[in-house]
Amino acid sequence: MERIQSINPERIAWCCADLGITPGELAAETGVSASTLEHVMAREDGMTFNQLRKIADHFGRGVLFFLEEGPVDEAQVHSPQFRTLANQKPELSAKLKALIERVEKQREVYLSLREDLDDADRPRFSPPDLPRQDLREAARIARLWLGLNDQNSFDTYREALESRGVLVFRSNGYNGKWQIAKQNPILGFSLYDLACPVIVVKKQDWDTRQSFTLMHELGHLLLHKTSSIDDERDLQSHRGHEREANAFAGYLLVPDAFLVGILDAERPDEVSQYDYWLERQRKAWGVSGEMILRRLLDAGRLPQSQYEAYRQWTAQSVVVQSEGGNREWRHREPRHIFGDTFVRTVLDALYARHITLAKASGYLDNLKIKDLHQLERYYAGV
């Protein structure tokens, strides 16, 4: 088979360094033989188109990227949002960097499809002006902007943000290119963009934890107008922008008016009973017991010692981990990952014949065609 000789090895080397892998690891992960790659890197030989495509797909680049002459211009390859996140967390893993770029490409796909559809009804991102000096008032304005009521869950919070022009992705629970690994401390990130910001939330054991991450990232978008990436330490921080985002999320999820219905006289003596004590509120507001206790602490209604004792108790509690499961509901996974707004846009573009079945499949986590048809029937209510 004919080999392409005009491959730029400097660009392969740059991509390897960018993702923190060696050419040997690249060969192992793509199935391209190490000797072939060695010859290419030494400019002694080329490789087939299929081999080059495997490498391009692995790095999330086009084949032509590796045929261009000259060094890589990082300012053109990486967006300002990507560079912002990488600067905030220099220790980001190669897989997480790849996920961030993948999310950016999905946003580009979404905006391109919306333009093709000429959809005037598409939700536009038009954020309210919030007073950073008064985070309680900022949260009140944001709740009104989102149209939230007193009964919520992660899904309704997500729908509210999507209705205001914010795409909300959630990492997949299955191992794959849309997963943030359990052992990775990153809980979420946001990509600020005037046309269409994106928030990515790590799938966690409890939806209530995801709700706080979601609103924390929204705080960065609305208050700071910047991209951000956050781990567990950031969501407990009392400094700078992280403190503001945490306070904003707390006021938004549990406004002062919500606390009035909680009776201090009914608070159990044992912290192990706090979740039972707050069960009604937790279910109604779609938040964790810790979130409510934090608000009570800040309001001066809970001693610091009891709050810390509760956190210590929850840290020692054993959470039964899911063992995965079958793929019976595979056709619904794109909706869980990308949200209703993104999936409907792809399906609308498919119906309008702006894209092929193959393209739609690629945009929806590479659904098999039979699963894509099942997804269509699901949205049609059949």
Q: Is 196:163 a contact under the CB 8 Å cutoff?
A: no
DSSP 222: I
Q: For residues 131 and 74, what is the distance between their CA atoms, to the nearest angstrom? A: 36
Residue reference for tokens 């299929």 = 50
Which domains are present in the chain?
A: 9-77 (1.10.260.40), 93-106+122-253 (1.10.10.2910), 256-314 (no CATH), 330-380 (no CATH)
Q: Whole-angstrom Cα distance, residue 159 to residue 92?
A: 29
pLDDT, one tens digit for every residue, the chain (382 residues): 689 999 999 999 998 888 778 999 999 989 999 999 999 999 999 999 999 999 998 887 889 999 999 999 887 888 889 889 988 998 888 889 889 999 999 999 999 999 999 877 788 899 999 999 999 999 999 999 999 999 999 999 999 999 999 999 999 877 788 999 888 999 999 999 999 999 999 998 889 999 999 999 999 999 999 999 999 899 888 889 999 999 999 999 999 999 999 999 999 999 999 999 999 999 999 999 999 999 999 999 999 999 999 999 988 875 554 445 456 688 999 999 999 999 999 999 999 999 999 999 999 999 999 999 999 999 988 6
pLDDT (tens digit per residue) in 161-180: 999 999 999 998 777 889 99
DSSP 217-245: HHHIIIII-S-EEEETTGGG--SHHHHHH
Rounded Cα distance, 258 and 247, in Å: 15
E strands in 71-193: 167-170, 186-191
339 vs 331: CA distance, rounded Å: 13
Tally of helices (H runs) and strands (E runs) in the chain: 19, 4
Q: In 118-239, which residue ranges form alpha helices assigned H by DSSP?
A: 135-146, 154-162, 207-219
